[in-house]
Amino acid sequence: MSLTVVANRVPIRATDNGWETSVGGLTTALLPVLEEQGGIWVGMGEEPDLPVRQPFPADDPDFLVRRVPLTEDELDGYYYGMANRVLWPLSHYMIQHLDLHEGFIETYRDVNRQFAEATLDESPTGDDEVIWIQDYHLMLAPRLIRQERPRATIGHFWHIPWPAMEVYRILPWARELLRGMLGCDLIGFHVEEYVENFKESARVLLGAEVSDHAVHFDGHTTRVEAHPIGIEVDRFEQMSEDEVVVEKAQKLRQRLGTEHIVIGIDRLDYTKGVLSRLEAFEQFLEENPEYHGRVSFYQIATPSRTKVESYQQLKREVDEAVGRINGQFARDNWVPVNYRYRTYTQFELCAFYRAADAALITPLRDGMNVVTQEFITATQNGVLILSELTGAAYLLPEALQVNPYDQNGLARSIKEALEMPDADRRERLTGLKQSVRELDVHRWAQAFLSSLTA
């Protein structure tokens, strides 16, 4: 098999010590495959002076990085526009954030064509040619590649929810984008719900014929399957047991000085439910004065898509909510909400996971959410409060599941988590750890690739 991965971002970044592979689920899952057998990774070039072709590592290359250099206007239309202001809110049922600007789809078409051309330039032709495209940035590329390479094996993994057909059809370009995706041999989603939604979209909007796990359209069959993603379990387990992490977790507990710690860790994104989570914590404090001074909520938010106005507004609203809650409830040495707007390394995050008694992971929608899996792996006896509107909820039934739109229910779940008897905590956590181990990210990549090439 000769593998070409096509993704929005390349898997390497420049650091003070030279070029390094970047940290992240996708890179972790796919680099071992590329390192073992060689291959190509096609991704966007965000800055003009980066090389278009970069064998990596430079001294003894394992694979080739091929950049698609984008101008600032292209980046604005394709990434900040079509990806972040159209496909992202639509797929998460947040149609109030939709910005259906014609210029976005025009640039998106053009950039997808450039990605397809770069892939065709680099990927060796032949019967064992395998092309694996990632995510909602590249919906049109599969058909463009298929037109030139009818015999190539083309897969696509969609990392976010595929919405219900009635929501998807809001998109003026819904049919064109679906046809683009149906150039694939296999499309992967995290869970069956998204598989069903995709099939229904193809059936209703294109008149495609659908069967158990396939869509038949225009003389071509595309298989559609659920392949839930995981994390690198062994690495997270080792990091969370590292003595530096254990000590940092202890220090954090001492510094906060409360009996209970609840954490939230997210990119600052309106889909992650950070604001309603803060409001639920506020209600919890109003209703349960006996907990004043006894519980700290620690919310870490990574800056994300800061050029998009709705993200700037969310930041202001979160800042305001934190100020309001602390202004009302803080006393003596107790600060109810500790808020950090910055990025941490995974190693540092492990200390927070380990220090917490409960994690409040309450997205309004999320394709999977791997923070859940990181917390479960790192914690020793924590309780996971999990939104039922995530892919993870289907796979983690032992979590304390909540509807993130139900503020009363969320507030009650915080109390329930803090008061959960030890035996119940242990039993749930055993089940959760087992499920997370089975979801390991290396298995995810292998399972998808072996189905793609079967």
Site string for ligand ADQ, 222-261 (x = CB under 6 A): -------x--------------------------------
Nearer residue to ligand ADQ within complex by CB, 146 or 305: 305
Nearer residue to ligand ADQ within complex by CB, 2 or 22: 22
Identify the bridge partners of residue 258 per DSSP, sorted by sequence position: none
CB 212 within 8 A of CB 422: no
Nearer residue to ligand ADQ within complex by CB, 208 or 364: 364
Choose, by CB under 6 A, the member of 302, 326, 403, 446 that binds ligand ADQ. 302
CA torsion, ordered 308, 310, 316, 319, to nearest 10 deg? -100
CB 202 within 8 A of CB 217: yes
Stretch near ligand ADQ under the rule CB under 6 A, chosen from 12-20, 53-61, 238-246, 370-378: 370-378
368 near ligand ADQ, judged by CB under 6 A:
yes
In 3D space, the residue among 263, 334, 332 whose CA is nearest the CA of residue 298 turns out to be 263
- Report DSSP state, residue 402: E
267 near ligand ADQ, judged by CB under 6 A:
yes
Which pair of tokens denotes residue 188? Answer: 């992967």
Choose, by CB under 6 A, the member of 89, 180, 367, 382 that binds ligand ADQ. 367
Stretch near ligand ADQ under the rule CB under 6 A, chosen from 36-44, 59-67, 178-186, 369-377: 369-377
Nearer residue to ligand ADQ within complex by CB, 131 or 359: 359
Site string for ligand ADQ, 189-228 (x = CB under 6 A): ----------------------------------------
DSSP string, 92-156: TT-GGG----HHHHHHHHHHHHHHHHHHHHHSPPSTTEEEEEESTT-SSHHHHHHHH-TTSEEEE
CA atoms within 13 A on the CB side of 442: 9
404 near ligand ADQ, judged by CB under 6 A:
no
CB 143 within 8 A of CB 104: no
Choose, by CB under 6 A, the member of 159, 216, 220, 412 that binds ligand ADQ. 159
In 3D space, the residue among 284, 321, 283 whose CA is nearest the CA of residue 299 turns out to be 321
CB 28 within 8 A of CB 441: yes
187 near ligand ADQ, judged by CB under 6 A:
no
Shortest distance, position 94 Cβ to ligand ADQ, whole Å: 13
- In which order are the strands placed within the sheet that holds 358-361? 337-341, 295-302, 260-267, 358-361, 383-387, 400-402
Choose, by CB under 6 A, the member of 118, 177, 249, 371 that binds ligand ADQ. 371
Shortest distance, position 303 Cβ to ligand ADQ, whole Å: 9
CA triplet 306, 73, 93: central angle to 5 degrees? 50
Choose, by CB under 6 A, the member of 25, 43, 228, 230 that binds ligand ADQ. 25
364 near ligand ADQ, judged by CB under 6 A:
no
Q: Cα dihedral sign for 67, 72, 74, 77? A: positive
265 near ligand ADQ, judged by CB under 6 A:
yes
Which pair of tokens denotes residue 192? Answer: 């069956």
- In which order are the strands placed within the sheet that holds 129-134? 53-56, 63-69, 40-45, 2-6, 129-134, 153-157, 186-189, 220-226, 214-217, 209-211
CA triplet 377, 273, 347: central angle to 5 degrees? 30
Q: At what angle do helices 309-329 and 274-287 cross, to 10 degrees?
A: 10
As a whole number of angstroms, the distance between CA 313 and CA 275 comes to: 11
Nearer residue to ligand ADQ within complex by CB, 343 or 434: 343
Shortest distance, position 250 Cβ to ligand ADQ, whole Å: 21
Shortest distance, position 168 Cβ to ligand ADQ, whole Å: 17
Choose, by CB under 6 A, the member of 266, 357, 398, 440 that binds ligand ADQ. 266
Identify the bridge partners of residue 296 per DSSP, sorted by sequence position: 261
Chain positions 326 to 345 lying near ligand ADQ, rule: CB under 6 A, are 343-344
Choose, by CB under 6 A, the member of 31, 111, 261, 349 that binds ligand ADQ. 349
Stretch near ligand ADQ under the rule CB under 6 A, chosen from 120-128, 362-370, 393-401, 426-434: 362-370
Which pair of tokens denotes residue 397? Answer: 């039934």
Nearer residue to ligand ADQ within complex by CB, 371 or 376: 371
Choose, by CB under 6 A, the member of 249, 280, 285, 300 that binds ligand ADQ. 300
Stretch near ligand ADQ under the rule CB under 6 A, chosen from 95-103, 283-291, 367-375, 417-425: 367-375
Shortest distance, position 344 Cβ to ligand ADQ, whole Å: 4
Choose, by CB under 6 A, the member of 314, 370, 389, 411 that binds ligand ADQ. 370
Residues of this chain that interact with ligand ADQ (CB under 6 A) are 25, 159-160, 229, 265-267, 300, 302, 343-344, 349, 366-371, 374
